[in-house]
Each structure stands twice: as structure tokens, then as C-alpha cells.
Amino acid sequence: MSEGPRWRRVLSLTWRLVGGYTLAALGTLSLASSLLHRGLRQKFEIENTHILADFINTVRAETLSHKGDLHEAEELITKSAGERQVAKYYGRLIHAEGRVLVETLQAGKMMPPREAFPPPLGIGEPVVKLIPATARSGDPVWIATALVERGGGHRPVEFQLALHIRHLEQWLDEYRNTLILMTAGATAATALLGWFITRRSLRPLREITSTAQRITAQGLSEQIGNQPWPQELSSLAAEFDRMLQRLRESFDHLSQFTADAAHEFRTPLNNLLGGTSLALARPRTPEDYRNLLETNLDEYHRLHHMMESLLFLARADNQRTVIRRESIAAAGALQEVEEFFFALAEDRGISIQCHGEGTVYAEPTLLRMALTNLVSNALRHSSKDGKIVLSATARDRGLEIAVEDHGEGIPAEHLPRVFDRFYRVEQSRANPTGNTGGSGLGLALVKTIIDLHDGTAEVESAVGHGTTFRLWFPPAD
């Protein structure tokens, strides 16, 4: 997936906002200036169109009132043209045969060629729009053409009119340049003001960054959300505090896990070291060495089991861990576990019973591991002539597997933590079998396995009456 151009990734938030403000101001001011300039030009064009239309109507009226005589019209055309000092207009009356009847001074220079004029408007037809053109002198002009009725049986004449607008164009150009300078100045001022406002507005973000930079593994208790941050940053600061809380809990959990693991490994290692050192202190009989090796082998098995359990827990903690589930007959799975523990249970005088039916949707190896740990735990805490019951019951569209023993039970204060890693209740209660207990990872493995299946693990216990562990596996869908 593309991450965008490098310049966009390295550009600071301040410069992004300032750049956005500047571009927005430049676009808005440029559009406003362009519309203002264009509107002013159109206003001048409309005003001059009305002026020329009135002038053409006046010429038409004078020519019609003096039928056949163009003297009044000529005087009107020449006199009116000389009265204007800024935007002068020049005109000529052209006979139907093509010869010029009346023409203002310098009309040949200040007017475009005759063929450049548009077709004349009809008699009485008003002028509604001027056409831009260029005079022989190169100056810009607006032109119009209209027919003028002479009366008295004379044929109408063509009146060509040109408005000299060089001064107007110069003024509009100066006005445009002024607008450009104002736009540039206003854009620059907006950029500076935007930079100042952005820097002040982002100060809380810099303070949050500074606070975050001071946080170390020893300072995870520092809070950020207790400051009066702006509304947009208060939720961020609160979420950051929650993240620190999660990190602090994870760090504490990891520290406790490391300490517990070191403690658990220290016991078998001390046993191995002490037993071996004692055996090497003086010569021993072959039988003594054999006993030592058998004792060491038990410790090695214990260490191996702990390592396998820790590796499984570490892999299961990875959220990307994927298990392959399949439909398993619950009765068959329970019967398999019963057969596995049959000899050990018989040796201890404990009976194992299985009942129930249904299908559990689970990973076979993990299901067997969970049940094995629960039954092993039940055997460890059941008295002689006790009974362990394995059952499967449909519940909430899924399947619930229960492992029930009739041992000494678990005190209520320990129930919330029985699934914690390295937590052992044996330290505070008697064990009727005399077993020193496990490593405190068995029930943690069970909880991890049921979590991988998106199920639930529950425990019920009463001191002196026994304990029941219930595992609920969701349906296949």
C-alpha cells in the first residue's frame, strides 16, 4: 500500500495547516478579485452601450426630423465626439452606395476598417451589445453599426460608431494590478497569521509530545489526561492514559511472570545442582547413582513440561495465532481422556466416569491438552476412593464440557485467580495425596486454549465438597 509522496510524510502539521490556510486565502482572494474586475468591466460595457445606444437614437431622431438633410446629423456627430475627453467615440455615415457622407475628425485612424464592422442593426432596432475591435492605430475600441432612416424617399444610411477605450483599458489594467498586489499582500498576511494561530493552537499537542517523551518504563504512572486540554485533544489524552494503564499492567504482568518463571525454574535447578554436587562429594554405589539419575530425570521432565507450557503460552499470546477447528464427538474425546488416566486413577483408588453426548467444534490437540490438564489437576486434589466425572452438555447453541471432582475444594478467595499463570492454591491448602503440586501453568493453559476457541472457562468450588471446571465451546458458525 502506497504511503504517499515523501515530502507529504515529512511535512510538519504546522506547515500543512499554514499551507492549507494560504492556498485557501489565495484561491478565495483571487476568485473575488477576478469577479470584481470582471464585474467592473461588464458594468462599464453596459454603461457605454447605453450611452452609444442613446447617441444612435439621437442621430436617428435628428436625421428623421430633417428629412434629406444631413447637416444637423453631421454637426451632432462631430460636436458630440469632441465633447468627450476620456472615452471618445468616432462615427461615420455611409451612403448605401458605399461612399462616406459624414465622418468625425481622425475617424480613419481611430476607427477600424469599414469591413471590420458588423452588419448594421435594422431601423429602430436598439443596440444591446458592443463588439470589441482594434482601431487602425492599434488602440482597443468597442464598435456598433445601425441603419439611420433619412426620410423624404431617401435610402437609409449606415451609421458606424466606435468608442475609443484605451484610457479605460489602462485604468482597468492598473486596477487589476492593484488587485493582484492586494491579493498577494493579503495572502502573505494570512500565511503569517495562520502560522501564528497554528503554532499557538498546536502548543497543547507539543506539550503532550513532551510529556510522552518523558515517560519511561519506570514512569508509566504519569498521567496526561488530567490537564485542561482542548476538546479535540482531551479524548486523545484520555486514550493515551488508558494506553499507559494497559502498558503498565502488561509491564507489571511481564515482570511478575518473569519473577514467577525464575522462581519455578530455580527449584528444579537447585535440586539438580544440589543432588549432583552431593553425589560427587564422595564415591557412591551404582545403586546410588541410578537413584540420582532417576531423580534428575524427574526434574528434567518437570523442566521440559514447564518449557513446553511457556512456549505454548507465548505463541498463544500472539493475536495472529490461528487454530484449525473441526467437529469432534464429545463422548469419544472424553472416553479417550478417561482411558489415558485409567491406570493412574486406579493406582490412587479414584474412579473416572464419563457421560454426555454432542459435538464440540475445537482443535483436537488443544481440546485434549485442556481436558488432560483438568483431569490431572482433579487427580492431584482428589482423595482416595474419590470420583471424577467428565460430562458434555449442550448449552447456548454450543457445547459445555465439565470436569468435576470430589476433593478438598478451593477456598473462595482463590477462585478469581486460579487461571493466572504460576498461581498455585496448594501453598495455602492441604494436599491429601502428598503431591507438591504443579508449576501453576496447567489452568493457565486451559484458559488460554478456551480463549483461542472464543469460549469461556468457569470454576465452581466448595471447600470439602470438590471443584467443577466448565468449558464452553461455541458452535461451528
Listed by start position, the domains of the chain span 13-172, 235-316, 326-473
Which fold is adopted by the domain 326-473?
Heat Shock Protein 90 (3.30.565)
Query: The domain 13-172 is classified under which CATH number: 3.40.50.1820, 3.10.310.30, 3.30.450.20, 1.20.140.10?
Result: 3.30.450.20
Cell numbers for 139, please give them.
488602440
Q: Return the higher-pLDDT residue of 132 and 211.
A: 132
285-301 per-position pLDDT tens digit: 888 888 888 888 888 87
Integer CA distances (angstroms), 267 to 47, 156, 264, 340, 443, in order: 105, 127, 6, 29, 20
250's CB contacts (< 8 A; 6+ apart) are none
Strands (E), 83-197: 89-94, 100-103, 131-134, 140-148, 157-164
Q: Return the higher-pLDDT residue of 461 and 311.
A: 461
Closest CA to 384 of 413, 436, 347: 347
Q: Which residues pair with 457 in a beta bridge?
A: 471
Element housing 460 (H / E):
strand 456-462
CA-CA distance, 410 to 270, in Å (whole number)? 30
Please report, rounded to a whole number, the percentage of residues in the chain having pLDDT higher than 90: 17
339-389 per-position pLDDT tens digit: 988 888 888 889 999 998 899 999 888 888 889 889 988 898 888 888 999
Q: Mean pLDDT score of the chain, rounded to an integer?
A: 80
What integer pLDDT is reported at residue 426 of this predicted model?
A: 58
Integer CA distances (angstroms), 389 to 372, 385, 411, in order: 13, 13, 21
What CATH number has the domain spanning 235-316?
Answer: 1.10.287
* pLDDT exceeds 70 at position 212: yes
Compute the average pLDDT of residues 203-210.
78
SS (H, E, C) 391-425: EEEEECCEEEEEEEECCCCCCHHHHHHCCCCCCCH
* pLDDT exceeds 90 at position 472: yes
What integer pLDDT is reported at residue 87 of this predicted model?
A: 62
What integer pLDDT is reported at residue 452 of this predicted model?
A: 85
Q: Looking up cell 449606415, which residue turns up?
A: 158
pLDDT band of 332, cuts 50, 70, 90: very high
CA-CA distance, 186 to 192, in Å (whole number)? 10
What integer pLDDT is reported at residue 431 of this predicted model?
A: 42
Comparing 12-16, 43-47, 72-76, 332-336, the range with the smallest average pLDDT is: 72-76
